[in-house]
Amino acid sequence: MTSAKGLEGVVVASTAISHVFGEEGRLVYRGYAISELASKASYEEVCYLLWHGHLPNRAELDGLNATMRVRRELPEAALATLRALPKSAGPMDALRSVASVVGAALPIDGKPTYDQAVQITAIFPTIVAAFNRLRNGKEPLAPDATLGHAANYLYMLTGERPPENHVKSLDTYLVLLADHSMNASTFTARVIASTESDLASCVVGAVGALKGPLHGGAPELVMDMLDEIKSADNIHPWVDDALNSGKKLMGFGHRVYRTTDPRAEILREMARQASSAEFFALARGTEQYAIQELNRRKPERRLYTNVEFYSAAVLNSVGLPRDLFPSTFAVSRVAGWTAHVLEQLVGNRLIRPQSEYTGPEGLKFVPVEQR
């Protein structure tokens, strides 16, 4: 046997949910190119598509909207856990912890179901928003059943009904990030599902995987990078110095795409419309020069902008604190995680790969007094 580091090139599952065509720069949800859905379909429509395999008709969408809107309330045990967390806790730590409590309190147990997928997806924004308010010395707000998924999330964060342009930007972001084939967090969820564990456990594991800066933590770091660059005049020297010193540029390169991430192209236009001219000039200028230098220095790598780069700009434009970027990613991706869990259970087989042993052999035990 030979090992494939990072499972590079290894096919671990068959899925009809989504696929990344890396060479072509295409992302498909259930047969729909992402450009066919972004800014056209609502997040709730995309949830239905991922769970059921087809876009909902009006009655089906109305039914899903009604169900999700009454499933947003946190159980008392979840609220008590949020209040017990230190205000210095990270938002992803809070989400991971409280998602586990939600699973125990509702309870979400046994074989994962569609109804449970709806429940968990509906409640994720409430967890994030309630934690954010508590850490800022404010009381959590009850969800507003008159608002859609994206609008209600912004309302629970701020206490004000959000402007329509912010709702549209966030809703499109949620659509773009809802699924992405066999990424690390989705694979984690499917591995847990393959053991026939419960849906809450699958989602909690996925949150843990998403937290890492090589997966869902990057948008926050993109903003930190742009803060360091400060101005368009400083782009060239900053990027040159970073690359010369071996520093990683955040928001560039992807494990699968060998051209521009199609989600990044959509988010770029959204960022152009939503951001100040000065900020967009900084972001766009950094993108252009960084790609030029990355491909000049590492032509074999074919490095381009990924989704994290302009996700940062879009989430910043709707007023989200940057440390909520990863948990907002989870608010979107939970639809994909739950869809993959349900798919994994159809003809399930325990995921149990082999490993290549590189340790010693033939050692003899020596009593502790003789060591």
* Residue reference for tokens 């381009």: 304
Angle value at C-alpha 220, between 215 and 221, nearest 5 degrees: 80
* Least confident residue range of 116-125, 128-137, 184-193, 355-364: 355-364
Res. 325: pLDDT tops 90: yes
Q: What average pLDDT does this structure show over 165-192?
A: 96
Catalytic residue among 166, 308, 340, 343: 308
Enclosing H/E stretch for 19 = strand 18-21
Question: What share of the chain has pLDDT > 70, as a percent?
Answer: 98
Whole-angstrom Cα distance, residue 101 to residue 312?
29
141 shares a domain with 60: yes
195 shares a domain with 291: no
189 shares a domain with 285: no
Catalytic residue among 149, 166, 180, 254: 254
pLDDT at 260: 76
283 shares a domain with 161: no
The verdict on residue 99 lying in a domain is yes
Q: What average pLDDT does this structure show over 320-341?
A: 96
* Least confident residue range of 46-60, 209-223, 234-248, 263-277: 209-223
pLDDT at 254: 66
Enclosing H/E stretch for 26 = strand 26-29
117 shares a domain with 157: yes
Looking at the 3D structure of the chain, how many domains does it have? 2
Give catalytic status of residue 340 as yes or no.
no
Res. 217: pLDDT tops 90: no
Q: Which domain holds residue 135?
A: 35-213+327-344
pLDDT at 59: 98
278 shares a domain with 334: no
87 shares a domain with 178: yes
Kindly report the backbone phi and psi dihedral angles of residue 236, in degrees, each rounded to the nearest multiple of 5, phi listed first. -60, -50
Whole-angstrom Cα distance, residue 205 to residue 357?
26
Res. 355: pLDDT tops 90: no
Res. 190: pLDDT tops 80: yes
Question: What share of the chain has pLDDT > 90, as a percent?
Answer: 79
DSSP helix/strand/coil, 29: strand
176 shares a domain with 84: yes
Q: Are 328 and 315 in contact (CB under 8 A)?
A: yes
pLDDT at 257: 62
The verdict on residue 23 lying in a domain is no
Q: What average pLDDT does this structure show over 263-280?
A: 92
296 shares a domain with 171: no
Res. 15: pLDDT tops 90: yes
Q: What average pLDDT does this structure show over 216-226?
A: 84
Whole-angstrom Cα distance, residue 193 to residue 233?
50
- As a whole number, the mean pLDDT across the chain is 93
What residues have CB less than 8 Å from 143, skipping those under 6 apart?
A: 69, 72, 73, 126, 152, 156
pLDDT at 362: 97
Q: What average pLDDT does this structure show over 328-357?
A: 95
CATH of the domain at 285: 1.10.230.10
pLDDT at 256: 66
* Least confident residue range of 88-97, 251-260, 303-312: 251-260
Give catalytic status of residue 287 as yes or no.
no
Q: Are 165 and 319 in contact (CB under 8 A)?
A: no
Q: Are 338 and 199 in contact (CB under 8 A)?
A: yes
CATH of the domain at 197: 1.10.580.10
What pTM was estimated for this model as a whole? 0.92
224 shares a domain with 75: no
The larger pLDDT score, comparing residue 305 to residue 263, is at 263
Angle value at C-alpha 336, between 333 and 339, nearest 5 degrees: 150
199 shares a domain with 72: yes
Strand ordering across the sheet containing 32-33: 18-21, 26-29, 32-33
Q: What average pLDDT does this structure show over 319-346?
A: 96
What residues have CB less than 8 Å from 131, skipping those under 6 apart?
A: 82, 85, 89, 91, 94, 95, 98
